[in-house]
Amino acid sequence: MPDPIEVRKVPIESVTDASGLSRLIADGVIEADRVLAVVGKTEGNGGVNDYTRILADRAFREVLAEHGHPAPDSVPLVWSGGTDGVLSPHATIFATTADAPPSEEPRLSVGVAMSEVILPEDIGRPAMVEKVAAGVREAMKIAGIDDPRDVHYVQTKTPLLTLATITDAKSRGQDTAIEETGPSMDLSNSTTALGIAVALGEIDMPRADQIHKDLSLYSSVASCSSGVELDRAQIVLVGNVRGIGGRYRIGHSVMKDALDADGIWEAIRDSGLPLPERPHPSDLGGRLVNVFMKCEADPSGRVRGRRNIMLDDSDVHWHRQIKATVGGVAASVTGDPAVFVSVAAVHQGPSGGGPVAAIADLA
C-alpha cells in the first residue's frame, strides 16, 4: 500500500518565488524528502520561449535542496506557462505523509513516473503514444491503482520540437512530423493524451493518421503540457485508493464547452464534497484544494451557436484568449483565481471543451 498524501496549494508572488513551498516545510506541514511532485502555473507567455517555467523550476528545486531533499532534480515539476486574464501564478504540491487519519473510504494516491526518452521524430507519431502509455501504466502501479476507473487526473509534461531537435533528427537521417516549433506544442500534447487514453483503456491504439486529427478520440482525465526543459514524459498520475488513509479525495468530469461551469461543479461533486442543486463558491467552505483543467478553442469557431473570432485573430493568439475565458469561468466557480488552466487540449476531453479534475479536503 502506498503512503497517504498531503496536498497543498501555494501562491507564487514573483517569477522565482518558492517561499510558499519553503514555509510548508519550515512549518512541518510537509517534509522536503517526501515531496512527490509539483504542478504549477507560471506567468510567462506559455510559448516555446516561455522561460518562466525554467525559472520556477530552478527556484523550487533549490528550496528542496536547501531543506535536505536527497535528489531534488528527480522530482517532477510540471509547469504550465501563461496566467492570462484573472489566472494567478501558483503551485500545487503533492507529498507523502506519515501523519494521516485512517480511512477505508477512497483517498488520494499519487504515482510518479518517467517515460523512455521521446525522440524528436517520435512526436506526433505512434511511437510517442506507446512510450507515454507504458509510463502511465508504471505510474498506476506506483500509485497502487489497479482499476483505471480510479484514475481521475494524469498531468504530463513532454518535449516539444525546437530548431535544435529538428536538426538533430535530420542529422540522424530521421524526419519530424512537422517542422514548426510553435504548433509542435499542441501536437506533443495531443499525442501524449492518446497515450494516456490507451493506457487507461479509454481508446484502442490509434492509427498514425488519427493523431491530432480524429477528435472523437480523447481521454477524460488527461492534462498534457509540453516545453523545452525535458526529453521524456514526466507523468503525475492522481487517483483514489481505498485503505490508504488521508484527508483528500479527487474527482473528475469534463467541460463540454468553454462556458460549462456545470462541468466544473460536477468534478467537485465527484471529489466527495456535498453541494446543493445550485451551488455557490461559499458552499465550498475552504475545502477545495484546487481544480485542474484543459481548454481548447472550438474548431467550429462557435460557442453555443455564437460565432467568435479567436481562431481568426492575428493580434492575440487563441491560446491566450481561451485560457483567459476558461480561467474566468473556473474562478467564478471556485471563488479563487489560482486555478490550473492549461491550453492545447486536442484529444483531452471533448472537442471545444476539456477535462476537469478537483481535489477536496474531506477532513
Residues with Cβ < 8 Å from 169, sequence gap 6 or more?
119, 120, 121, 175, 176
How many CB atoms sit inside 10 A of residue 89's CB? Answer: 23
213 is in an annotated binding site: no
271 is in an annotated binding site: no
CB 43 within 8 A of CB 52: yes
pLDDT of residue 274: 96
pLDDT of residue 363: 86
Instruction: For residues 57 and 63, give the distance between their C-alpha atoms in angstroms, rounded to a whole number.
Output: 10
Instruction: For residues 285 and 84, give the distance between their C-alpha atoms in angstroms, rounded to a whole number.
Output: 26
Topology of 248-361 in CATH? 60s Ribosomal Protein L30; Chain: A; (3.30.1330)
How many CB atoms sit inside 10 A of residue 95's CB? Answer: 24
225 is in an annotated binding site: yes
Which residues in the chain come in under a pLDDT of 50?
Answer: none
Residues in a beta bridge with 156: 224, 235
Give catalytic residue positions: 157, 225
Identify which of 268, 253, 277 has the alpha carbon closest to the alpha carbon of residue 335. Answer: 268
DSSP 12: -
Residues in a beta bridge with 91: 10, 40
Instruction: Please give the CATH number for the structural domain made up of 5-96.
Output: 3.30.1330.170
If you search the block for the grid coordinates 492509427, which residue do you land on?
A: 207
Same fold, 5-96 and 107-239: yes
C-alpha distance from residue 180 to each of 55, 167, 176 (Å) = 25, 12, 10
Hey, is 145 helix, strand or coil? coil
Instruction: For residues 114 and 104, give the distance between their C-alpha atoms in angstroms, rounded to a whole number.
Output: 30
- In this structure, which CATH number among 3.30.1330.180, 3.40.50.2300, 3.30.420.40, 1.10.260.40 belongs to the domain 107-239? 3.30.1330.180
Sort strands 151-159 and 222-227 into parallel, antiparallel or unpaired: parallel
pLDDT of residue 264: 98
Task: Please give the single-letter amino acid code of residue 350.
Answer: P
Distance of CA 105 to the CA centre of its chain: 25
CB 235 within 8 A of CB 113: yes
pLDDT of residue 229: 77
Burial class (CB in 10 A: 0-12, 13-18, 19+), 282: exposed
Distance of CA 253 to the CA centre of its chain: 14
Identify which of 272, 265, 266, 234 has the alpha carbon closest to the alpha carbon of residue 250. Answer: 272
296 is in an annotated binding site: yes
Instruction: For residues 215 and 210, give the distance between their C-alpha atoms in angstroms, rounded to a whole number.
Output: 8
81 is in an annotated binding site: yes
342 is in an annotated binding site: yes
Spans of all domains in the chain? 5-96, 107-239, 248-361
Hey, is 114 helix, strand or coil? strand
CB 154 within 8 A of CB 113: no
The grid coordinates listed for 319 are 491560446
247 is in an annotated binding site: no
Dihedral sign for Cα atoms in the order 261, 263, 265, 267: negative
Supply the pTM of this predicted model: 0.96
